Amino acid sequence: MLLPAVFAGAGGCTSTITPPAAVQDPVTVFLLREAMHSGVVLPSPTNGAYVEFGFGDWSWFALANDQWYNVFATVLWPTQGTLGRRPFPARTPDELRQYVTWAELQPLAIERAKATALWTRLHEQHAARQSEAVTRANLGWTFVPYDRSYWFPQTCADVAAEWFRELDCSVGWTPIRSSLNVAGQ
């Protein structure tokens, strides 16, 4: 979600995601990158519509306490994390690209079973905290508290990297990850 760019100048860098080489039953998933956020976009196994999952700081991302002076508390020590869910009215990669015009989408061919397992786990974790959900309609996100802390060594790019590893991708290491990029894109 937020401010990996602050640390880019302080030694942070981009990790490269390499998708699995051999995929038997492929489905297209996406890395979504915007100015200060990286997330994973997965097709729903129930209706095929794409859903983005993202991680960030609860106060900054979910509660919109994004004034400049909150940056320091958000990144310098662990804060309450949030799991965000943003559905898109798209069922094919082309429809998704037409809808998501404000961000960069990088496709990866992944095993369908792996994508389904990750979508199911994240969906269930999000649903389990639905009574605490906060919706930011202007961004299209619904957020719930997450059992992970947010701060500079554990940002949206770090958690998205973990999710891509669950999809059998390899992700390059960096001491402070500011962003992600798919190999060859």
Nearest-angstrom CA–CA distance, 23 and 181:
20
101 vs 28: CA distance, rounded Å: 18
Q: What's the structural domain count of the chain?
A: 1
Whether the CB-CB separation of 39 and 52 falls below 8 Å is answered with yes
| pLDDT (tens digit per residue) in 134-184 | 999 999 999 999 999 998 889 999 999 999 999 999 999 888 888 898 998
Q: Determine the residue type at 150.
A: Y
Residue pLDDT, tens place only, 21-62? 999 999 999 999 998 899 999 999 999 999 999 999 999 899
Domain carrying residue 154 = 4-182
Site of tokens 């991302």: 61
pTM flag (> 0.85): yes
In order of 32, 99, 170, 179, the CA distances from 167 in angstroms are 15, 24, 9, 18
Contact 181/30 with Cβ under 8 angstroms? no
Q: For 2, phi and psi rounded to 5 degrees? A: -130, 145
